[in-house]
Amino acid sequence: MIELEKEDEIPIVKLDNPPLNAICTELLDSLEKTLDLLEDDEGIKVVIIEGVGKAFVAGADISEMKDMSPEEAEEFSKKGQELFNKIENFPVPVIAAVDGYALGGGMELAMACDMIVASDRSVFGQPEVGLGIIPGYGGTQRLPRIVGHKKAKELIFTGKKIDAEEAYEIGLINKLVDTENFTDEVMELSKTISKNGPLAVKYAKEAINEVSHLDKGFDKEVEMFKRCFETQDQKIGMDAFLNKKEPEFKGK
**Parallel, antiparallel, or unpaired for β 2-7 and 10-15?**
antiparallel
- Separation between Cα atoms, residue 6 and residue 12, nearest integer Å: 6
User: What is the three-class DSSP state of 206?
Assistant: helix
Polymer length of the chain:
252
User: Could you tell me if 86 and 146 are in contact, meaning their C-beta atoms sit under 8 angstroms apart?
Assistant: no
How many CB atoms lie under 10 A from the CB of residue 35?
A: 19
* Helical (H) or strand (E) element with 47: strand 47-51
Separation CA 52–CA 17 (nearest Å): 8
Residues belonging to the active site: 108, 128
Q: Which residues pair with 123 in a beta bridge?
A: 101, 163
Residue 105: what are its φ and ψ, rounded to 5°? -60, -25
Does 18 sit behind a cis peptide bond, omega within 30 degrees of 0 on the bond before it?
no
- Considering just the CA atoms, what is the radius of gyration of the chain in Å? 19
